[in-house]
A and B are shown apart, each in its own frame.
Chain A
Amino acid sequence: GAVVSQHPSWVICKSGTSVKIECRSLDFQATTMFWYRQFPKQSLMLMATSNEGSKATYEQGVEKDKFLINHASLTLSTLTVTSAHPEDSSFYICSAIGQGVGQETQYFGPGTRLLVL
């Protein structure tokens, strides 16, 4: 099946720093990638939809200047949490759909746990 990877899996940073999370589709070309965040014991909340070569579409209430998304190629999307604060601590998950094996559903990455001190 389709494989989506995320890097890093864990990150701890100081308040005020920026953190970049990578999402890669390993065996298919992802025309669309999605970024979610999940708080403990809560559901996945869609943050933004990212299409290759175009600007991301952000969900209501998600600050685009805070969460920068770049989808520069068909296999890579990045989420940068700028000037991170403790309330940004969360589990960030990406997913991807695309051509071929990844077409029929979203395939999720393993997630990135962010802890901002």
Chain B
Amino acid sequence: DQQVKQNSPSLSVQEGRISILNCDYTNSMFDYFLWYKKYPAEGPTFLISISSIKDKNEDGRFTVFLNKSAKHLSLHIVPSQPGDSAVYFCAASESTSYDKVIFGPGTSLSVIP
């Protein structure tokens, strides 16, 4: 049973436009949500996180929105750049110390110049 879902395996966006990556979860005990970016044959790189007490967190071009009642979060990248092309993983944790993080299946983003 997949606790973190990313229903779009891939997404293509024009350079300069907004990229929106979606994520849904089923476990109501999740308290922290994270987004990671991953290039092939490399480990994931932390991008941005959000606590369940917030509904928005922004860091430069990256904004994460959380709708706890819908168990849904999204990552907005604006403006999108070709270097953003990678696989993006949504992840969730029950604890503040990130004891155990459950990853979604990932969305492959292609930003077209």
Q: How far is the CB of B50 from chain A (nearest CB, A)?
A: 12
For residues 7 through 45 of chain B, which have their beta carbon under 8 Å from a beta carbon of chain A? 34, 36, 41-45
Report how many residues on chain B are interfacial, defined by Cβ distance under 8 Å: 20
B97 at interface by CB-CB < 8 Å: yes
**With a CB–CB cut-off of 8 A, which chain A residues contact B42?**
110-111
Asked whether A93 is an interface residue with its Cβ less than 8 Å from the other chain, the reply is yes
Contacting residues, chain B, for A12 (C-beta < 8 A): none
SS class of chain B's interface: helix, strand, loop or mixed?
loop
- Smallest Cβ distance from A110 to chain B, in angstroms? 5
- B44, B45, B103, B106: which has the most chain A beta carbons within 10 Å? B44
Asked, given contacts A105-B34, A106-B46, A107-B46, whether A91 binds B99 with beta carbons under 8 Å apart, the answer is no
A46 and B101: CB pair below 8 A?
A: yes
Q: A105 and B98: CB pair below 8 A?
A: yes
The answer, yes or no, to whether A32 is at the interface (CB within 8 Å) is yes
Given A49-B100, A97-B97, A108 and B34 contact (CB-CB distance below 8 Å):
no
Distance, CA A3 to CA B105, complexed state (A): 25
B42, B43, B49, B100 interface centre (most CB from chain A within 10 Å):
B43
The answer to whether A4 touches B43 (Cβ under 8 A) is: yes
Please name the residue on chain B nearest to A107 by beta carbon. Answer: B46
B89's partner among A32, A43, A97, A107 (CB-CB below 8 A) is: A43
Q: Which of A49, A97, A109 contacts B43 (CB 8 A)?
A: A109
CB of B94 to closest CB in A, whole Å: 13
Which of A4, A34, A44 has its CB near the most chain B CB atoms (within 10 A)?
A44
A95 proximal to B (CB < 8 A): yes
A-B contact pairs, 27 of them (CB 8 A): A4-B43, A6-B43, A34-B100, A36-B103, A43-B103, A43-B105, A43-B106, A44-B44, A45-B103, A46-B100, A46-B102, A49-B100, A93-B44, A95-B43, A97-B98, A105-B34, A105-B46, A105-B98, A106-B98, A108-B36, A108-B46, A110-B41, A110-B42, A110-B43, A111-B42, A111-B43, A113-B41
